[in-house]
Chains A and B, each alone.
Chain A
Amino acid sequence: MFHTEVLEVNMGPQHPATHGVLRVILSLDGETIVGCKPVIGYLHRGVEKLSEHKLYVMIPPLCDRLDYVGSASQNLGYIQAVEKLCGIEVPDRGQYIRVILAELNRISSHLVWLGTHGLDIGAMTVFFYTFREREMILDLFEAFCGARLTTNMFRFGGTLEDLPPGWIEGCRRFIDLLPSRIREYEGLLSQNRIWLERTKGVGVISAEEAVNWGLTGPCLRGSGVNFDVRKAMPYAAYERFQFDVPLGVNCDTYDRYLVRMEEMRQSARIIRQALDTLPGGEFRGKVPKKIKPPVAEVYHVIEGPRGEQGFYIKSDGTEKPYRVRFKSPSFVNLQALPVMSKGHLIADAVAIIGTLDIVLGDVDR
């Protein structure tokens, strides 16, 4: 007699479509996924433990290395958490520069996502285009602080430096160029029949499920839930800027693609407003030489490119934190992979990992 068996296949940890070192154990019935178990931890560096042994000022560079694609957001979140703990004020100009840099970083992160997501699904051309524009953002970062990827651009009370001469013009040139470039990507993908076949109806997760699994960021908004930390609990100077929060309808990979494309436009819109109304004055406020917070705890969240990034700091009144906890959106979003990939084909698992937009450095910490 013939019988069929469920076959277990390891995808990763060295599979190119897993964006780093992620291992997924797939249970397959033919080519259909019946079970899926992500195995993580290959990049675990014990940053939370390490942080307990460092001074408050020594931790921001470590944060950059968690989510290296969205390093500015990581850096900003930690710095703001400590500022909240110590009651440090930030001058307006510092807040505006923070917003500009964080939004540039969001665009560059989304560009990396778009390029690699396209590459995974088989649309190779987009990768070269998006990395061309990302290069321009990295050049702006380099002009600002000298580093391109792990930038460490923010300081307690403000930013590392004031904007260098000519930087604002360079940023404007990029912002003016970006919409036409986004149209170019959309021209390649939005009506592309292969792209539609590979993304429509793939990785559907209902709004209720998405909230239950704790998804945040574009993954949650792709399911039509209106939650953006920049609107819900504005930090830095976000309450002063006009922008829309794009929402998906069909809860699938295609809608998450549309949401991220629109988010890039909205980020450009925020940057333009911030450049137009950039206040003068100091870029960094007065900060005590020694960062020594009172005995207290804070939990600060910001909207990173991947979702809600949380920073929990418990201080015991010394110069080192008693406990630092990084809540990473990638870790939480990845957890929904089994739910989203059930019943799909193996090839769709690749699309779903791509649409979750995880950074393994952030997952494993």
Chain B
Amino acid sequence: MGQPSVAASGAAAPPKPEDPQRKAIPSVPLDALKEKFPEAIEEIAFFAGEVTARIKLARLVEIACFLKDNSRTKMDLLSDLSAVDYPKEPSRFEINYHVYSIPHRHRLRLKIRVAEGESVQTVSGVWATANWHEREAYDLFGITFAGHPDLTRILLPDDWKGHPLRKEYPLEGFPEQHPRYR
């Protein structure tokens, strides 16, 4: 216990071609994205009926606005925003935006990669609900969001040191930080 497992690497092993779960499926938002921003898409993945598009960090807000406002895609609900930490990779954080369209009933996972010290443009201007999700990512991962109206810690106390969901953060915390509880 206490030792973070950092064995994993974020880059997926090359999928076997016969894997039926990874078969490409038709997706309206992905097609719209491919038409409008062919140069901004870095990677496309399918798994178990889910569609993932990794996009360039710099184009995030532009693409988010397009997905929300375009009548074909109309991704009006930001279902979730969460981060994953891959400490061994050059851009260590990955942020997943799970967007959904209530009128069209389609889903898409947008993905960006961001290095430590780099900041991500906030999407709270596009989907207001991103506000707290981004604060949570800042709190638990230490990712900064440029243009965020109130980027403060949300779940942990304001004077907390460190970001617990980073892989190098021990499960039971740093001993010097709260010796009383160990």
Q: Which residues of A contact B (CB under 8 A)?
A: 40-41, 44, 46, 48-50, 52-53, 84-85, 87, 211-214, 216, 225-227, 232-233, 294-299, 301, 308, 310, 312, 314, 316-318, 320, 322-323, 325, 327, 331-332, 335, 364-365
- Expressed in whole angstroms, the minimum distance between the Cβ of B97 and any Cβ of chain A is 11
Instruction: Specify which chain B residues have a CB less than 8 angstroms from the CB of A295 in the assembled complex.
Output: 12-13
Q: How large is the interface on B (under 10, 10 to 19, 20 to 34, 35 or more residues)?
A: 35 or more
Contacts A214-B78, A214-B129 given; 9 further ones with Cβ under 8 A? A53-B1, A211-B76, A233-B107, A295-B13, A296-B21, A299-B109, A301-B79, A310-B98, A312-B98
Q: Which residues of B contact A (CB under 8 A)?
A: 1, 4-5, 7-9, 12-13, 19, 21-22, 47-48, 50, 52, 76-80, 82, 84-85, 96, 98, 102, 105, 107, 109, 127-129, 131-132, 140, 153-157, 164-165, 169, 171
5 smallest CB-CB distances across A and B, nearest first, come from A214-B129, A316-B8, A327-B80, A41-B155, A325-B82
Contact in complex: B79, A318 (CB < 8 Å) = no
Question: Which one of B9, B82, B96, B132 lies within 8 Å of A335 (CB-CB)?
Answer: B132
Measured between alpha carbons, how far is A211 from B12 in the docked complex, in Å?
Answer: 34
Measured between alpha carbons, how far is A323 from B47 in the docked complex, in Å?
Answer: 17
Measured between alpha carbons, how far is A297 from B144 in the docked complex, in Å?
Answer: 24
Question: Which one of A40, A298, A317 lies within 8 Å of B48 (CB-CB)?
Answer: A298
Q: List 30 A-B contacts (CB under 8 A).
A: A40-B154, A41-B153, A41-B154, A41-B155, A46-B164, A49-B164, A49-B171, A50-B171, A52-B4, A52-B5, A85-B48, A214-B77, A214-B128, A216-B77, A227-B77, A233-B105, A233-B107, A295-B13, A296-B22, A297-B47, A297-B52, A297-B96, A298-B50, A299-B96, A312-B82, A316-B8, A317-B13, A318-B5, A320-B5, A335-B132
Instruction: Specify which chain A residues have a CB less than 8 angstroms from the CB of B48 in the assembled complex.
Output: 84-85, 87, 296, 298
Measured between alpha carbons, how far is A299 from B13 in the docked complex, in Å?
Answer: 19
A316 with B9, Cβ < 8 A, contacts A40-B154, A212-B127 known: yes
Contact in complex: A364, B129 (CB < 8 Å) = no
Instruction: Specify which chain B residues have a CB less than 8 angstroms from the CB of A85 in the assembled complex.
Output: 48
Measured between alpha carbons, how far is A318 from B7 in the docked complex, in Å?
Answer: 10
Contact in complex: B82, A213 (CB < 8 Å) = no
Measured between alpha carbons, how far is A96 from B131 in the docked complex, in Å?
Answer: 38
- Expressed in whole angstroms, the minimum distance between the Cβ of B127 and any Cβ of chain A is 6
Measured between alpha carbons, how far is A199 from B53 in the docked complex, in Å?
Answer: 44
Measured between alpha carbons, how far is A150 from B140 in the docked complex, in Å?
Answer: 27
- Expressed in whole angstroms, the minimum distance between the Cβ of A213 and any Cβ of chain B is 5
Measured between alpha carbons, how far is A225 from B105 in the docked complex, in Å?
Answer: 13
- Which of B48, B107, B128 has the largest number of chain A CB atoms within 10 A? B48
Instruction: Specify which chain A residues have a CB less than 8 angstroms from the CB of B52 in the assembled complex.
Output: 297
Instruction: Specify which chain A residues have a CB less than 8 angstroms from the CB of B80 in the assembled complex.
Output: 299, 310, 312, 325, 327
Contact in complex: A332, B132 (CB < 8 Å) = yes
Question: Which one of A46, A87, A322, A335 lies within 8 Å of B129 (CB-CB)?
Answer: A335
For residue A83, which residue of chain B has the nearest CB? B48
Contact in complex: A44, B5 (CB < 8 Å) = no
